[in-house]
Structure 1
């Protein structure tokens, strides 16, 4: 079969890598792809947000299955448009994807259906948001309502930071239209965990749980990023906690979306905070997470094509999903200056010296004059697999030490939180 993967980051490289292992797949295209993806698929110069360009390409090449990586095409309705034309595509509908596209909508649904989450208030005007901060005080979390590439969330531990966050989002328009509205939430204490699940009808099959590292610096310091690394499985996520999350969060959310006319089909990502009062939802995403996908798919045993087709055919309940023993750790190597302004074009060397137990997923790279160069903020996701988390950590950092590019920076503590729990 011929498969089209939409997107060009580390998540999409991991998806392409996993799909290529399927004996059912003869050809993979990726739009727009990157330098690493180009080594295992044919990259197509169509941007992920160009829904009709992608549609025309899928028709022209008689694509059998399209897999959507990023959130923007999903919230723009790519699934509805492809399905209307009779094309198979993996991902939620536009209406279902709004659970990620609007944080305010997600909070309204959670409040209406009693799904545990932080207390919140939503504002369309900056002066009202400022007044709320001045009345209720910090700590709090200020979020741009719309899509902001994982960066539109500011954790404010004091009133000054909270007021500045409102200004950055609503007055300075740092995240564009995503900041037309802000959500201000109660600050939750605890430890985060990322839970992804395959969803089809009433069938929910959770993937192995992972933990993302959002802050740019070691020990969770500095501004939020799109994610500086992740590991799986997360020892924090015990079988007892998993049962509670499915009962109190995943199943009620899927049922709530169906009740709201937003029936969900695809992968649902729940970013959770495990508090003293139990798990609470920080955010929902309507697709595979990034960088969580890199370690999670590294541990998936079952053919990903089989799982995706079972969801599209309404047969997920009959589809076994198996996982490899061991653990995987992904360390993101970022460009100098990220998550602020960063340069492009720096040559990347040492990729051929990476140990065989390590898979390097390209996120922001390009091929120029036969050289692989930096072309984004998060450049590489260096992913080690081992018998356990300590071994996977060691292998990932062995890989990182093999790779060189000007300005490279990365966290040195990815997976450290897991070590105290094993």
Structure 2
């Protein structure tokens, strides 16, 4: 079989590695891919539009396309592929609005009784400011569009909130994504990520993950695409799982079925676990990065067979190793703002699996940095402490100019 995976990060490398490990007979293609994906398959060169990719899949008899990166979902690639009779794993455009359009997503949650923090929507800067004047608690300000996962600002007081509004609505830091904003009640607690697979009839959750989104230690500084992950999340107790299934997963499934937003793909629940309840902060309609990199090494089951079962709307069951996992992201100093690329990476050849290439390419037998998030070091262990130690032991073997990583993942 031939499989095309869309995206260029560590997530796509992890998906490809797991499929390759489980099914050696599968030929892998990646667009645009990275230096790591080119080692296990073939990267499609040059720039391609959605239609180009569709024609490539037709011409090369691609059996299945897996959408890794959300940017392809926004372009409606699933709808185009389906119109050409091509099998593709991902949310169609209307369903992808659960991630792309936060206002739509919040309205969906409210309509179907999915427990989520209280919120207000504003398209007027002045009305948003007026609302803040009457607010006496911390708030989270979100762009309606997702702004590459970075359009979320926690404001601890009115000054910070007004500065955030100015940045988003006046200075247009996130472009058109900030034309409409959400001011949401701030909840204190622990975040959890639940990636799930959706076969169009049932949602099957994976293990829980804890993602570290901020660039700085102790969750400080700017939001990033993710600086590390641990699996399983220690805060997802049996009681929390039951609460999640009853008040978030079940009403979400009901809403998807009633609104005809069914698709074959992944759905990600971004949760906040408070002292009383679990709340849904956001949906993603794809696998998370770097959660995927920590999850897939723990999967006992054949990942490709799971995907095939979901495609055929068969019941999905997943077996997991009784281990813990820790993923540490190595980035270029300056990420998520300005950073330099083209730095020579040393130490990759001495690494034991699992590890993933996120933003690096190979030139004349040398590995070179090419993006903000460069490598994903994954440690596995019988305990979380052991997994964390294994991950950071791998980190110590890697060297490149302007290397940056958080030293507190899982701690």
**Structure 2 partner of 1:371:** 366
Kept in 1: contact 2:202–2:253 (CA 8 A)? no
What is the distance in 2 between the residues matched to 1:187 and 1:119? Answer: 9
What is the distance in 1 between the residues matched to 2:285 and 2:171? Answer: 28
1:122-141 matched pairs, under 5 angstroms: 122-141=121-140
**Structure 1 partner of 2:337:** 340
After TM superposition, the structure 1 stretch with the greater mean CA deviation from structure 2, 9-18 or 69-78, is: 69-78
SS in 2 for 1:333: strand
**Structure 1 partner of 2:38:** 38
Per the TM alignment, residue 138 of structure 1 is displaced from its structure 2 partner at its CA by 4.3
Kept in 2: contact 1:19–1:25 (CA 8 A)? no
- Structure 1 gaps, min length 5: 417-422
1:191-206 matched pairs, under 5 angstroms: 191-206=190-205
**Structure 2 partner of 1:380:** 375
1:28-177 matched pairs, under 5 angstroms: 28-45=28-45, 50-177=49-176
What is the distance in 1 between the residues matched to 2:391 and 2:83? Answer: 43
Q: Is 1:183 the equivalent of 2:178?
A: no
**Structure 1 partner of 2:269:** 270
Per the TM alignment, residue 137 of structure 1 is displaced from its structure 2 partner at its CA by 4.4
Per the TM alignment, residue 47 of structure 1 is displaced from its structure 2 partner at its CA by 5.3
What is the distance in 2 between the residues matched to 1:174 and 1:379? Answer: 24
What is the distance in 2 between the residues matched to 1:243 and 1:300? Answer: 22
Per the TM alignment, residue 59 of structure 1 is displaced from its structure 2 partner at its CA by 0.9
Taking a change above 3 Å as real, the CA distance of residues 24 and 243 of structure 1, as seen in their structure-2 partners, is: farther
Per the TM alignment, residue 100 of structure 1 is displaced from its structure 2 partner at its CA by 0.1
Number of equivalenced pairs: 411
- Structure 2 gaps, min length 5: none
Note the alpha carbon deviations across 1:198-237, whole angstroms, 9 max, x for none.
Answer: 1223322110110000111111111211110001011211
**Structure 1 partner of 2:10:** 10
What is the distance in 2 between the residues matched to 1:335 and 1:188? Answer: 31
What is the distance in 2 between the residues matched to 1:111 and 1:320? Answer: 30
Note the alpha carbon deviations across 1:247-287, whole angstroms, 9 max, x for none.
Answer: 11012112112222312432110010001221001111000
Kept in 2: contact 1:5–1:66 (CA 8 A)? yes
TM, length-normalised to structure 1: 0.94
Kept in 1: contact 2:201–2:313 (CA 8 A)? no
SS in 1 for 2:147: coil
**Structure 2 partner of 1:420:** none
Per the TM alignment, residue 414 of structure 1 is displaced from its structure 2 partner at its CA by 0.7
SS in 1 for 2:403: coil
1:240-319 matched pairs, under 5 angstroms: 240-315=239-314, 317=315, 319=316
**Structure 1 partner of 2:402:** 407
Note the alpha carbon deviations across 1:80-122, whole angstroms, 9 max, x for none.
Answer: 1111111111112111111000111111111111211111111
Note the alpha carbon deviations across 1:153-176, whole angstroms, 9 max, x for none.
Answer: 111111111111111112222222
Kept in 1: contact 2:148–2:225 (CA 8 A)? yes
Q: Is 1:222 the equivalent of 2:221?
A: yes
SS in 2 for 1:402: coil
Per the TM alignment, residue 351 of structure 1 is displaced from its structure 2 partner at its CA by 0.8
Taking a change above 3 Å as real, the CA distance of residues 117 and 383 of structure 1, as seen in their structure-2 partners, is: same
After TM superposition, the structure 1 stretch with the greater mean CA deviation from structure 2, 200-209 or 391-400, is: 200-209
Note the alpha carbon deviations across 1:337-396, whole angstroms, 9 max, x for none.
Answer: 112111111111111122x2x422111112334321111111111111122211110110
What is the distance in 2 between the residues matched to 1:211 and 1:314? Answer: 29
RMSD (Å), alpha carbons: 1.5
**Structure 2 partner of 1:20:** 20
Note the alpha carbon deviations across 1:320-343, whole angstroms, 9 max, x for none.
Answer: 311111011100011111121111
Per the TM alignment, residue 23 of structure 1 is displaced from its structure 2 partner at its CA by 2.4
